[in-house]
Structure 1
Amino acid sequence: MSAVFKKIIRDHKLSARLIPVFTLAPELELACTRVADFIGEKFMGETEPLVKEMLAGGLAGFKRTRKTGDPHVAFMQGMFEPAHLLYARRYVARDGERYHVWSPMFEPIPVFEARHSGLATGMADERCPESITRRSAAFQLAARALTGENFRLYFEDYDVAHALSDSEVVEG
């Protein structure tokens, strides 16, 4: 478990809620750590840090199917469903009049932050110019976070496209 993931768990009081998930599927701890290490703690989702919203979505999916289905797969679905938000707004480092813009999926956000450590970082209300579907964004993040059998389950049978009415390009 990385220091970033530990801090997120501590700051958002998620430890007690994540224990049943990691007890049932210990490999999801690695997936959550990789997501946290890629997104970091400052990138904002709808109303809160995106990584917190992703973990909350995973926990909601886990709770919903705990007794009736595959809760670890539901956790993955819930966690990756908001991945499209990485494209909905821009993450920038401000250098006076200049902006350095993070490009989604090219590098982890903490690496971008470290490269621009002396600058103020924050969100800009501008969507990325790339056209991307919710499904594609979820798969890109899942490919970074999941390994082996979990990625196969997510990719072949249980991807978030099943929960969406269509897989059209996400509009800003």
Structure 2
Amino acid sequence: MSAAYKNIIRDHKLSHKLVPVFNVAPELELACSRVAAFIGERFMGNKQLLSAEMIESALDGFKRAKRAGNAHVAFMQGLFEPAKLLYARRYVARRGDHVAVWCPMVDAIPAFEERHANHDFEMVDERCPEHITERTAAFQLASRTLEGEAFRRYFEDYDVAHRYDHSEALEG
């Protein structure tokens, strides 16, 4: 498991909520770990770290579907639904007059942070100029974080992003 994932689970006290899920489906823990490793520990969501919001969204999906549907798929839907937030704000590294902006999905956020290690990082309330749908954002993050069978199972067999609109770009 990634260090970022372990820190997020510890700092946001999510372990006790995740144990029942991972006892039934241990592969979901790897998905959470890889998402946390890609997003890191600084990118903010709506109210807290985006990685933590994504894991909590996955738990909410799992709880809703536990009795009525496929909880594994609902967990993955919840995990990737907030991916649209990676395009809602810009993540910037500043040092004096030098400004670098993270381009969504080009590389992992921790890799961007490592390249700009002696910079100050901040969130800027400016949308990414790309026009992207929620479905595409979910698929892009999934393609960068899931491997082989996990990607095939959750995104081909069950089409986890099926509920997203196919044509409407996200609006600021």
Conserved 8 A contact 2:134-2:165:
no
What's 1:3 paired with?
A: 3
Deviation at 1:168, TM superposition (A): 0.7
What's 2:40 paired with?
A: 40
Conserved 8 A contact 1:83-1:137:
yes
What's 2:18 paired with?
A: 18
What's 1:145 paired with?
A: 145
Identity of aligned residues (%): 61
Q: Distance in 1 between matches of 2:123 and 2:83?
A: 16
Q: Distance in 2 between matches of 1:144 and 1:107?
A: 9
Which residue identity is paired with 1:77?
Q
Conserved 8 A contact 2:155-2:161:
no
Equivalences for 1:119-130 in 2 at 5 Å?
Answer: 119-130=119-130
Number of residue pairs matched? 171
Q: TM-score, normalised by structure 2?
A: 0.93
SS in 1 for 2:87: helix
What's 1:161 paired with?
A: 162
Q: Distance in 2 between matches of 1:34 and 1:120?
A: 25
Q: Distance in 2 between matches of 1:167 and 1:69?
A: 27
Q: TM-score, normalised by structure 1?
A: 0.93
Deviation at 1:63, TM superposition (A): 0.7
Q: Distance in 2 between matches of 1:97 and 1:35?
A: 32
Deviation at 1:165, TM superposition (A): 5.4
SS in 1 for 2:43: coil
For the aligned residues, what is the CA RMSD?
1.4
Q: Distance in 1 between matches of 2:32 and 2:167?
A: 25
